Amino acid sequence: MATIWLVTRIKIGEFRDRASELIRRAAGGETVVILNRNREVAKIVPITTKTDDGGGLVGSLAGTAEVRGDIESPIASPNHWFRHRT
């Protein structure tokens, strides 16, 4: 499946006159490149959001770790955990 990227190149003076329209177009998925004396100086791009991001920070590392060995057994003996400190 191919993705088509819409890019509009516009001179800075024209951008100044049509800023609201061009920002709405960027919000709709179009990229707007602003030119100053035919040199690219800025770019307005759509903000993309993921709908299945797992709720932000929680779950963002899902599937990136591997559990090895026994994770249920204690790492020290019960005597070590419950000894009295003096």
According to DSSP, the β-strands at 7-11 and 39-44 are: unpaired
pLDDT average, residue stretch 25-29? 90
What is the pTM assigned to this prediction? 0.52
* Cα–Cα distance, 22 to 35 (Å, whole number): 14
Q: What is the model's pLDDT at position 84?
A: 67
Enumerate the H helices of the chain as residue ranges. Answer: 12-27, 78-81
Radius of gyration of the chain (CA): 27
Copy the structure tokens of residue 44: 């307005």
C-beta separation of 66 from 83 below 8 A? no
Tens-digit pLDDT profile for residues 35-72 = 999 999 999 998 876 555 555 676 777 778 777 777 78
